[in-house]
Structure 1
Amino acid sequence: MITSPEIQGGLDTALLRRQFPILERQVKGKPLVYLDNAATTQKPQPVIDALVEYYSGYNANIHRGIHTLAEEATAAFERTRDTVKEFINSACREEIIFTRGATEGINLVAYTWGRQHIRAGDEIIVSTMEHHSNIVPWQILCEEKNAVLKVIPINENGELLMEDFEKLLTEKTRLVAMVHVSNALGTVNPVKEIIAKAHAVGAAVLVDGSQSAVHLDIDVQDLDCDFFVFSGHKVYGPTGSGAVYGKLSLLESMPVFHGGGEMIKEVRFEKSTWADLPYKYEAGTPNIADIIALKAALDFVTDTGKERIRQHENELLALATSALEQIPGVRIIGKAAEKVSVLSFVVDKVHPQDLGILLDNRGIAVRTGHHCAQPLMDFFGIPGTTRASFAMYNTKAEVEALAAGLEKAIKLLA
């Protein structure tokens, strides 16, 4: 296991790493250096324990049974809803809808609120740096409704051109769907300002918090966003878990998404009526185990301390940025003034995939490609990047390993 000095950025990294079992393994005979955290984070022992405890101790379907196991499972499931409410500071638990992740959350809003409110000629605004999951659902909706999709441009540093955004806003703007933090660049967007400007023309705002929920303090009431989505697996939780926040008045007025059990109040062949929030949007048997384990992940982040985590990750980002800037041929993509611990780069005359393979041979896991942000790569005129993204358990020694591995890979490939 690679460790650097025990205390970094106020975190005991040696102690933290012992709580992530996968970090003990080797890849191709080398200690694992996991730098693909923007794709998914590794899971601490409390999350793994929560999954095992559910399946070995009280596995049962929820909300419908009166026996002991069902009641225990229901209580654990609903405790996660309360934890998510606190984690993002929503006004009430009824505003928290469980999903399989941010992608399903965005689609939920598009298929319900979108089909209810978008008409021919209406306008939806996204940005150049959106993940495909915050582009494609709105494209589908616009094609169906004969609406218009507009795109906020960015500058060469990977920052939104806010003056251009203001010009895009019109009386026809119905929705602004905005990534809080770019998964490909690490750029932190000024979403509070964006929300205020959108609301001034009567538009609703959806914030994609897939990357921000793990790095930034989230307060949906202070942001005043209408919708906020995030995925559990990027916050040290299980895959297949996530949540949508929506303002209560909006969720109450929106049509249903999936039909089936749990989301109903009464079913007759003539007509069915819907359950109260939040269950109106949670049809069928949910991903019980992973939602229960999501609470353990959010508690782990909260107990570790977001501010300490952020300080540590920022130190790693600064160190990695400085190290890579000194390597000939390396060009960093995305130099926003405000960013989180995501470092994307290209190397002259070297394909990102080739670079990723050689780094993997040294046990270093990075992401290569367009990162589900193809229009963003088109803006920079590149097929993709190599992306290193840092988490609470990464160390300065791992940054040094990345830089050393990159230098050797370039010598082989250039």
Structure 2
Amino acid sequence: MFSKKEIEDIRREYPFLNLKPNGKDIIYLDNGATTQKPKEVLDNIQNFYETENGNPHRGAHYLAMVSTEAYEGARARVGKFIGAKSPNEIVFLRNATEALNLIAYSYALNNLSEGDEIVISIMEHHSNLVPWQRVAEKTGAKLKYLYVDEDMQIPFSEVEEKIGKNTKILSLTGASNVVGTMPDLDKIFKYTRENSDAKIILDGAQLVPHKKVDVSKLDIDFLVFSGHKMYSAMGIGILYGREDLLNSMEPFLSGGDMIEYVYEDKTTYLPSPQRFEAGTANVEGAVNLAAAIDYIERIGMDRIDEYEKYLTDYAYDKLKKLDYLEVYTTSNKNRAPVISFNFKEAHPHDVASILDTYGIAIRSGHHCAQPLHRFLGSNFSCRASFAVYNTIEEIDYFVEHLEDVRRLLGIES
């Protein structure tokens, strides 16, 4: 656990806590959407453009070579962070959404057919749901859902019932962005390997920023995640894939830097990762993600995880005591640092707007998870989500002003 001084030191690294971008202090509890950035990560962006800015893989001059070295160095850094066997298994994209779409279009559309089955959970973000709907529509494959129990956990009976010899894709979130559930990945993936020849995809957008993920130990085929949810710049995402599998797939986009040879009547393509990185790369984003990984590992992923669990447990216990709230987050303490809730007699947008007048930033809406919300019996919810720079005092302030929301809306306790 961090000491009070360590948290104070961490908070000093975040300019948004001191600069008051909207003219007042911000209690930022929307980290599930995107995290704020520490100064060393912000400085990394400026340093890149001042000293390393060139177009990689395209020139023999100094800055082109420096940029290439920085870009490929970032690839190696990301690969090491998640336990990849080779940097060639790391593809830089815009975000986790693009990575999931790449898998759907470049692998699934070319390998699935009528009678095949795609299995996902009801908790999936739209990015890990809509692409599979489209694949099912185009190939004739069947889309099946793993449902959750009253505590938002996937019963293993669901896995045994839904995954079998016809399963060709299992694509599962590592942590729900609504109810915080972290499925038992080891058990589910082991069963899938033993009972099907499915490709296993892990949506790590809400998992990788909070818990150490090792793709080799998990024995998965693909992993996706985004940099901006783990203190890095926006616009950079990661697709991990087994190298042999990536090299068997068709390119997602065509153009410069992904070709081997171009003739008037045909083109041959480079192997992974270049075959999936058409056009000028987001070198700044890749290098910045490597800097964010350095920042996380300097603090310690295990310590961040422990502290965020402490904050989440504290907030969960506080909110569960308020009888005018309905809390959707799982009670299982092995959960992501997100708490979703609703006032029983108020619209979440009204709640979020009132809290904003007190400088408290939470999320309101369906959180890109409409099927899950319908399963919960609601169209939307409020969500508070935590990061390493949040504090117990901020949670107390947040809970105190929930009482003000209740009072202002005339809701009886």
**Normalising TM by the smaller chain, what interval?**
over 0.9
Q: Which amino acid aligns with 2:268?
A: T
Please report how far the alpha carbon of residue 186 of structure 1 lies from its aligned counterpart in structure 2 after TM superposition.
1.2
User: Paired residue for 1:308?
Assistant: 303
Do the aligned residues in 1 keep the contact of 2:74 with 2:286 (CA within 8 Å)? yes
Give the 3-state SS of the residue equivalent to 1:215 in structure 2. Answer: coil
Q: 1:298 aligns with which of 290, 293, 300?
A: 293
What letter is aligned with 2:383? Answer: R
CA-based RMSD of the aligned residues comes to: 1.4
Match of 1:37 among 28, 31, 37: 31
The SS at the match of 2:208 is helix
Please, which of 366, 372, 377 is the counterpart of residue 376 of structure 1? 372
Secondary structure at 1:213 match in 2: coil
Matched residue, 2:403: 407
Matches of 1:50 and 1:29, distance apart in 2: 26
2:92 is aligned with 1:85:
no
- CA shift, 1:153, in A, is 0.8
Match of 1:203 in 2: 198
TM-fit CA distance, 1:110: 0.5
Equivalent residue for 1:318, pick from 313, 317, 322: 313
1:161 corresponds to 2:155: yes
Q: Which residue of 2 aligns with 1:3?
A: none
Q: Which one of the candidate residues 121, 128, 134 is aligned to 1:134?
A: 128
Residues 47-56 or 395-404, more deviating: 47-56
Which residue does 1:123 correspond to in 2?
117
Structure 2 distance, partners of 1:350, 1:266, is 61
SS in 2 for 1:12: helix
User: For 1:172-196, what per-residue CA distance to the aligned partner results, in whole angstroms no more than 9, with x for missing partners?
Assistant: 1100010000011111111222211
CA contact (8 A) 1:41 1:236 kept: yes
Residue 389 of structure 2, aligned match among 393, 396, 412:
393
Answer with 333-342 or 170-179: which moved more: 333-342
**1:359–1:409 CA contact under 8 A, matched in 2:** yes
1:48 and 1:98 mapped to 2: Cα distance? 20
Letter in 2 for 1:15: D
Q: For each residue in 1:216-261, what CA deviation from the matched residue of structure 2 results, as whole angstroms up to 9, or x when unmatched?
A: 1100000001100000101111111011111112112111111111
Residues 181 and 211, structure 1, Cα contact 8 Å, conserved in 2: yes
1:152 aligns with 2:116: no
User: Counterpart amino acid of 2:317?
Assistant: S
Tell me how far 1:161 sits from its aligned partner.
Answer: 2.1
Q: Whole-Å Cα distance in 1 between the matches of residues 160 and 323 of structure 2?
A: 39
Q: Which residue of 2 aligns with 1:289?
A: 284
In structure 2, what is the Cα distance between the partners aligned to 1:332 and 1:308?
Answer: 27
Please say which of residues 17-26 and 220-229 is displaced more in the overlay: 17-26
Any conservation in 1 of the 2:232–2:288 contact (CA below 8 Å)? Answer: yes
Is 1:172 the counterpart of 2:166 in the alignment? yes
Deviation at 1:28, TM superposition (A): 5.9
Q: Give the conservation status (yes or no) of the 8 Å contact 1:25–1:32.
A: no
| 1:270 equivalent in structure 2 | 265
Q: Does 1:229 align with 2:224?
A: yes
What secondary structure sits across from 2:313 in the alignment? helix
Match of 2:106 in 1: 112
For residues 218-257 of structure 1, what are the structure 2 equivalents within 5 Å? 218-257=213-252
CA distance in 2, matches of 1:236, 1:14: 17
Tell me the secondary structure at the aligned position of residue 75 of structure 1.
helix
What amino acid maps onto 2:287 in structure 1? Answer: I
Please tell me the residue identity of whatever aligns with 2:234.
T
Task: Give CA deviations for 1:380-414 in whole Å, capped at 9, x if unaligned.
Answer: 10121111101000011101111011111111112
Could you say if the C-alpha distance between residues 11 and 76 of structure 1 is closer, same or farther in structure 2, counting changes exceeding 3 Å?
farther
Say yes or no: does 1:53 pair with 2:33. no
C-alpha contact (below 8 Å) 2:308/2:337 kept by paired residues: yes
The answer to whether residue 359 in structure 2 is matched with residue 363 in structure 1 is: yes
Supply the AA of the counterpart residue of 2:238.
A
What is the percent sequence identity of the aligned residues? 39
- Report SS of the residue matched to 1:76: helix
**Residues in 2 aligned to 1:303 and 1:353: alpha-carbon distance in whole angstroms:** 37
CA contact (8 A) 1:228 1:244 kept: yes
How big is the shift at 1:22?
1.1
3-state SS, counterpart of residue 133 of structure 2? helix
Instruction: State the alpha-carbon separation in 1 of the partners of residues 361 and 61 from structure 2.
Output: 46
Kept after mapping to 2: 8 A contact 1:11/1:312: no
Offset of 1:29 from its aligned partner? 5.2
The number of aligned residues is 408
Which deviates further from its counterpart, 45-54 or 103-112?
Answer: 45-54
Structure 1 residue runs without a partner (length 5+): 1-6
In structure 1, distance between residues paired with 2:5 and 2:146: 38
Distance (Å, rounded) in 2 between the aligned partners of 1:94 and 1:8: 36
TM-score by length of 2: 0.96
2:61 is aligned with 1:74: no
Report what 2:6 is aligned to: 12
Corresponding residue of 1:65: 59
Alignment partners' CA distance in 1, 2:363 and 2:24: 18
* Structure 1 residue 341 corresponds to structure 2 residue 341: no
Q: Which moved more, 1:18-27 or 1:38-47?
A: 18-27
CA distance in 2, matches of 1:400, 1:47: 29
Change (3 A) 1:84 1:55: same
Aligned partners of 1:179, 1:364: CA distance in 2, in Å? 28
